[in-house]
Structure 1
Amino acid sequence: MATQKKTTDVDYSMQEKILALYELQKIDSKIDEINKVKGELPLEVQDLEDEMAGMTTRIEHVNAEIEELNSLIKQRKREVDQAKIMIGNYKEQQNNVRNNREFDAITKEIEYQELEIELAEKRLKEYAAGIKAKKLQLEEAENLSKERAADLAAKKSELESIEVETAPQVAEYEAQRERVLSKIDERLLAAYERIRRNVRNGLAVVTVKRDACGGCFNRIPPQRQVDIRQGKKIIVCEYCGRILVADPEAAQE
């Protein structure tokens, strides 16, 4: 908003705005060069942070599954103990039966509880095997997490070292950028940023050198070169869409 006020307070000529765009491009190119030193480090750090977050979630999920299996083991053991108590009670009742029918009925109850114990013990073995498998998964995930954490720490350290080293330069370029931005209106700036995103090396503003576009090197017609030197309007390369400006060094010569 502050920049917007500056551009409306001062009535800069189109030629001044075009030169400001060229200066802005030079500053942004210097910042781009600094960012190139970082290479893929910012993306690598982000990817590792995302991977670490995913592994943390995975570890928490596996731990929750182990906890659930342990809870089921306790429940099944209580069921086995209860079934054994009931079998003991039924056997005592068999000693006091009055006829074969009662004896057979109690025998069936005992058999049923024995089947329940057999099923519970089968489940206990399954749960124990499940816990063993989950613990292996957990160990692998934790080991991988430690490796990734070490990688992340190393890459973060490297990136922070570069950022600390280049911070004074970046701060100076950012200050220069703010001063230049005061001469560029919002419409031109939006066009500049759009072109920068869509062209190679982020070069949105290029000079005409040897009668050719400094971006795509296609020949510029003589009359169009005259219009570019006059600086009365924004002229873009008909081949690559970059903003064309007269070469200040050639103009001085």
Structure 2
Amino acid sequence: MAKKVEVSVEDRLRALYDLQLIDSRVDEIRNVRGELPLEVRDLEDEVAGLNTRLEKLGSNLEMIDEDIKAKKNLIEEAKALIKKYSEQQKNVRNNREYNSLTKEIEYQELEIQLAEKHIKEFKVQIEQKKEIISETKSKLKDRQTHLKHKKGELDAILAETEKEEEALIKKSEEYQKQIDERLVKAYLRIRNNVKNGLAVVPIERGASGGSFFTIPPQVQVEIASRKKVITDEHSGRILVDAALAEEQKEKMEKLFAKL
């Protein structure tokens, strides 16, 4: 049975800081991309929404056209009935029949007036919808141009960074496997809880990196001895000494240059 190799605290700290440098490089790449993927997605949604709106407006126009045709047919039918009733009036036998036909004629005339009124209203709606369609088409064209520009920007950035990002993510996974699970979990938890994603930081000018809180001299000595994993009592970040950090930065810069 192979003897399990004991990993020193210093080796663990170096591996942790290497992991931090890899993940920070991924963060930098994603920051360069910035809000572009979200902007592109929002623009795509907006363009899809405007196209859907145009389709609905087109359907509404077709429905209004059908309504106008129906009203015109009703007018023709009413005119035919008026003609029919007018002819029948010539052959009535009494005033009651004549008056009854007169009422029918008046009713059909009202039907024609009402249908003509509706046709006018429908035509106003058509003009209003055509104006909305024109505005929507103009907005759609503007959004499509903007989307094309933003997609071009994103594609250019992706072309430059995607390959490197994928390689870095694989490296991050590799380095995580080299560190015991408990430490990786602590690292990820701290990383998720801090704004800039820095879970492992060196001591700079007597304070933890990116912080103004001074580290007591005795604690600085302990950190420099690399005998145990020490966290900053204020931020919760894992601390490493400046010399170790510089050595690992040089090492990782060579690695990044190869990716």
Both structures adopt the same fold (TM-score exceeding 0.5): yes
Aligned partner (choices 145, 148, 155) of residue 150 of structure 1: 145
Aligned partner (choices 208, 216, 231) of residue 213 of structure 1: 208
After superposition, the C-alpha distances for 1:99-137 in whole angstroms (9 at most, x for unaligned) are: 111101110111011101101111111111101111111
Count of paired positions: 244
Q: Please tell me the residue identity of whatever aligns with 2:166.
A: A
* Structure 1: distance between partners of 2:77 and 2:241: 94
* Structure 1: distance between partners of 2:195 and 2:75: 72
Please say if residues 202 and 245 of structure 2, whose CA atoms lie closer than 8 Å, have aligned partners that are also in contact: no
Deviation at 1:215, TM superposition (A): 2.4
Deviation larger for 149-158 or 238-247: 238-247
After superposition, the C-alpha distances for 1:28-49 in whole angstroms (9 at most, x for unaligned) are: 1112222233233223212211
5+ residue gaps, structure 2, are: 248-259
Q: Please tell me the residue identity of whatever aligns with 2:202.
A: T
Corresponding residue for residue 99 of structure 2: 104
Give runs of aligned pairs for residues 214-253 of structure 1, distance below 5 A: 214-229=209-224, 231=226, 234-249=229-244
Corresponding residue for residue 155 of structure 2: 160
Corresponding residue for residue 183 of structure 1: 178
Aligned partner (choices 151, 165, 170) of residue 170 of structure 1: 165
Aligned partner (choices 78, 86, 91) of residue 83 of structure 1: 78
Please say if residues 215 and 242 of structure 1, whose CA atoms lie closer than 8 Å, have aligned partners that are also in contact: no
TM-score by length of 1: 0.84
Are 1:118 and 2:105 an aligned pair? no
After superposition, the C-alpha distances for 1:221-245 in whole angstroms (9 at most, x for unaligned) are: 2343344345565433222232222
Give runs of aligned pairs for residues 18-167 of structure 1, distance below 5 A: 18-167=13-162
TM-score by length of 2: 0.83
* Structure 2: distance between partners of 1:230 and 1:21: 16
5+ residue gaps, structure 1, are: 1-8
Assess, with a 3 A threshold, how the Cα gap between structure 1 residues 219 and 45 changes in structure 2: closer, same or farther: same
CA RMSD of aligned residues (A): 2.5
Corresponding residue for residue 4 of structure 1: none
Please say if residues 206 and 245 of structure 1, whose CA atoms lie closer than 8 Å, have aligned partners that are also in contact: yes
Deviation larger for 230-239 or 203-212: 230-239
After superposition, the C-alpha distances for 1:52-104 in whole angstroms (9 at most, x for unaligned) are: 12212222222222222122112212221221121121112111111111101
Q: Please tell me the residue identity of whatever aligns with 1:222.
A: P
After superposition, the C-alpha distances for 1:120-159 in whole angstroms (9 at most, x for unaligned) are: 1111111111011111111111121111111111111121
Q: Please tell me the residue identity of whatever aligns with 1:81.
A: E
Please say if residues 228 and 246 of structure 1, whose CA atoms lie closer than 8 Å, have aligned partners that are also in contact: yes
Please say if residues 196 and 204 of structure 1, whose CA atoms lie closer than 8 Å, have aligned partners that are also in contact: yes
Q: Please tell me the residue identity of whatever aligns with 1:126.
A: E
Assess, with a 3 A threshold, how the Cα gap between structure 1 residues 61 and 93 changes in structure 2: closer, same or farther: same
* Structure 2: distance between partners of 1:189 and 1:71: 68
Assess, with a 3 A threshold, how the Cα gap between structure 1 residues 64 and 237 changes in structure 2: closer, same or farther: farther
User: Percent identity of the aligned residues?
Assistant: 50
* Structure 1: distance between partners of 2:79 and 2:181: 83
Assess, with a 3 A threshold, how the Cα gap between structure 1 residues 212 and 74 changes in structure 2: closer, same or farther: same
Please say if residues 17 and 245 of structure 2, whose CA atoms lie closer than 8 Å, have aligned partners that are also in contact: no
Assess, with a 3 A threshold, how the Cα gap between structure 1 residues 18 and 81 changes in structure 2: closer, same or farther: farther
* Structure 2: distance between partners of 1:66 and 1:90: 36
Corresponding residue for residue 192 of structure 1: 187
